[in-house]
Amino acid sequence: MSHKIQTLSGYIHEYQKSVLQPEVFWGRVAESFHWEKRWDKTLEWNFEEPDIKWFVNGKLNITENILDRHLFIMGDKPAIIWEPNEPGDEAVTLTYRELYEKTNEFANAMKAKGVGKGDRVIIYMPMVPEAAIAMLACARIGAVHSIVFAGFSSSSLADRVNDCEAKMILTSDGNFRGAKKIPVKAVVDEALESCTTVESVIVFQRTGTEVTMKEGRDYWWHDVIKGQSKECKAEIMDSEDMLFILYTSGSTGKPKGVVHTVGGYMVYTYYSFVNVFQYSIGDVYWCTADVGWITGHSYIVYGPLLAGATTLMFEGVPTYPDAGRFWQIVEKHKVNQFYTAPTAIRALQAYGLEPIEPYDLSSLKVIGSVGEPINEEAWHWYHDHIGKGNCPLVDTWWQTETGGIMVSALAGVIPNKPAHASLPLPGIQPIIVDAEGNELKGNNVEGNLCIKFPWPSMLRTTYGDHERCRQTYFSTYKGLYFTGDGAKRDHDGYLRILGRVDDVINVSGHRMGTAEVENAINEHPKVIESAVVGYPHDVKGQGIYAFAICDMEGRSEENLIAEIKKTVANIIGPIARPDKVQIVPGLPKTRSGKIMRRILRKVAAGEADQLGDTSTLLNPEVVESIIESAKNAK
């Protein structure tokens, strides 16, 4: 843990070093890991193509740094504590040794089914320890995992399977979520009707739900591990070999596969984890995300386990059996660091203080927030009632593409400020630019957030389409990585993230491309055209608001709205279900035919009195009827 910064002056010193000599800085962090062969050069990069390589020609396996390295001293220490959906069911603890053995055993089982280095494996699983084992087993044998959140629909799953040409799917029979039992394998079966590359499916039995097993393709997890050795030689990987692909929404209709590579991701997730959360060996750390999102990758599995931490995985939901569940778990496992999303905080805030009162939260040392801007009210509630006013609250800004936390206080080291992500981590060089890309220096400036120098865990490409990566992130401003977020640097030099400046909405901390939702809505046979915008939502941060021009023949407005919502939930998944749908006679368009979303955003936010100039529209008359029919939105 020699890389843990413990004082503000230490932070300032480290930050300076990281900017003046980034290669020396990151080289030192990387040296604390086990490499089969040391790298020749720490960094090669340009942001034009882009081409980014960290620890060039270094050879390693990330699982040796997670598992083998920790066996000697930490073998009997808990690596994963799993808290099941039902509070009455027993929690499961896996020590580092058990995790090592289970990973190897499953890695051997995957190999036996013909999966090897470079093959893509889709993981579509609930929050069970086997999801982490699946990830690590892939990494052990050099297979590239791509996790699809188990709430996505069969067609979203099929799109991802096809895009990365996956050879194997790892899944479960079903999934417990609160009072619900959700079929999982059945969704895989449906997806596979339109996939040709998958040779085998391994099914972990969780719920006992009846499933169809296709002979020669589908196997039970408990069968394939039978007789497998608990030793599996780690595949030697190049530092720049792919570790995983994770699909994320953008402003175009098709999710893109963000690619992270082994060496840099390892170094940065470890470094950011110990520093942001100020983790000490023996602490119990809990991040409530799902492994299907980047937060689950970097800060449930990789970062914590690289640091030899005890990481808690929770299968259920915050409100089952009641709104005290999170706090019951904190008390039960004496959680020291707790990391969640503002949407969860706001949802729990609505239940008042009663659900918290029975529980002893005194084990908490650090609390964290991720995924969206945390509003001041939620910040104070979280800080006062969960952190009891004496836990640093780290508001961590980052993205799927950045791989790790970029801007955040280091708990207890950098002073907190409500609703401000605060300062960049060492090695991170954020700048704020105006629309032309000119850097806005000094304090009290607001503009678009870019990063001007590479960091180890940044994305390398978007799978199968490097040009898309260049276009999306490196072409808006020459020589800069563009985040898609707006930001403000306040009078103290603290960064405040203002939210997306592109056509991406952030629903409960999850990214949704408006185009993706529109494409789904347009699949409904009665929809002629649609436009989707975000609007302020009390719990979700942003809600999805859809405007649709429809052929109303034979349908009532109410039925049609319900059908449209259902269509989106079927095509993408329940997380994309619009919160509100409004049937409109037309959409406001510019003379070049582009939808004027600015106007729709105002209507959705209930601010139709602040529309500004609409006279340049092709069809200004439509605006009145949109405002008028807003009351019918459901």
Spatial contact of 558 and 565, defined as CB atoms under 8 Å apart: no
User: Which residue is nearest to ligand PRX, using beta carbons?
Assistant: 400
Distance CA 175, CA 241 (A): 32
Does the protein bind ligand PRX through residue 82 (CB under 6 A)? Answer: no
Residue of 144, 202, 497, 604 interacting with ligand PRX (CB under 6 A): 497
Does the protein bind ligand PRX through residue 400 (CB under 6 A)? Answer: yes
Q: Which stretch binds ligand PRX (CB under 6 A): 201-209, 426-434, 499-507, 562-570?
A: 499-507
Residue of 370, 512, 517, 568 interacting with ligand PRX (CB under 6 A): 370
CB of residue 372 to ligand PRX, shortest distance in Å: 5
Does the protein bind ligand PRX through residue 485 (CB under 6 A)? Answer: yes
Residue with tokens 């969780």: 206
Q: Which stretch binds ligand PRX (CB under 6 A): 64-72, 144-152, 199-207, 505-513?
A: 505-513
Does the protein bind ligand PRX through residue 416 (CB under 6 A)? Answer: no
Q: Which of 95, 89, 145 is nearest to 117 (CA)?
A: 145
Residue of 269, 416, 422, 506 interacting with ligand PRX (CB under 6 A): 506
The number of CA neighbours under 13 Å toward the Cβ of 298 is 33
Q: Which of 573, 542, 279, 256 is nearest to 399 (CA)?
A: 256
Q: Which stretch binds ligand PRX (CB under 6 A): 60-68, 132-140, 391-399, 547-555?
A: 391-399
Among residues 14 and 290, whose Cβ is nearest to ligand PRX? 290
Does the protein bind ligand PRX through residue 500 (CB under 6 A)? Answer: yes
Does the protein bind ligand PRX through residue 508 (CB under 6 A)? Answer: no
Among residues 83 and 372, whose Cβ is nearest to ligand PRX? 372
The number of CA neighbours under 13 Å toward the Cβ of 1 is 18
Q: Which stretch binds ligand PRX (CB under 6 A): 375-383, 504-512, 550-558, 606-614?
A: 504-512
Distance CA 194, CA 117 (A): 25
Q: Which stretch binds ligand PRX (CB under 6 A): 11-19, 495-503, 552-560, 601-609?
A: 495-503
Does the protein bind ligand PRX through residue 395 (CB under 6 A)? Answer: yes
Among residues 365 and 511, whose Cβ is nearest to ligand PRX? 511
Task: Give 452: exposed, middle or buried? Use CB within 10 Å, 0-12, 13-18, 19+.
Answer: middle
Among residues 11 and 397, whose Cβ is nearest to ligand PRX? 397
String of DSSP letters for 74-135: HTTSEEEEEE-SSTTSPPEEEEHHHHHHHHHHHHHHHHHTT--TT-EEEEE--SSHHHHHHH
Q: At what angle do helices 557-571 and 514-522 cross, to 10 degrees?
A: 120
Residue of 126, 255, 292, 373 interacting with ligand PRX (CB under 6 A): 373
In sequence order, the β-bridge partners of residue 168 are 121, 200
Distance CA 116, CA 236 (A): 12
Does the protein bind ligand PRX through residue 512 (CB under 6 A)? Answer: no
- The stretches of 443-531 forming alpha helices (DSSP H) are 466-469, 514-522
CB of residue 306 to ligand PRX, shortest distance in Å: 18
How remote is the C-alpha of 593 from its chain's centroid?
34
CB of residue 615 to ligand PRX, shortest distance in Å: 33
Does the protein bind ligand PRX through residue 337 (CB under 6 A)? Answer: no
Distance CA 398, CA 400 (A): 7
Residue of 35, 286, 398, 482 interacting with ligand PRX (CB under 6 A): 398
Of residues 245-304, which lie at the interface with ligand PRX (CB under 6 A)? 248, 294-295
Q: Which of 148, 129, 139, 125 is nearest to 236 (CA)?
A: 139
Does the protein bind ligand PRX through residue 33 (CB under 6 A)? Answer: no
CB of residue 448 to ligand PRX, shortest distance in Å: 11
Distance CA 57, CA 87 (A): 48
Distance CA 600, CA 529 (A): 14
Does the protein bind ligand PRX through residue 149 (CB under 6 A)? Answer: no
Q: Which stretch binds ligand PRX (CB under 6 A): 90-98, 223-231, 457-465, 493-501?
A: 493-501
Among residues 486 and 586, whose Cβ is nearest to ligand PRX? 486
Distance CA 417, CA 420 (A): 6
Which residues 6+ apart lie within 8 Å of 196 measured at CB?
A: none
Amino acid type, 584: V
Does the protein bind ligand PRX through residue 516 (CB under 6 A)? Answer: no
Contacting residues toward ligand PRX, per CB under 6 A: 248, 294-295, 370-373, 395-400, 421, 483-485, 497, 499-500, 506, 510-511
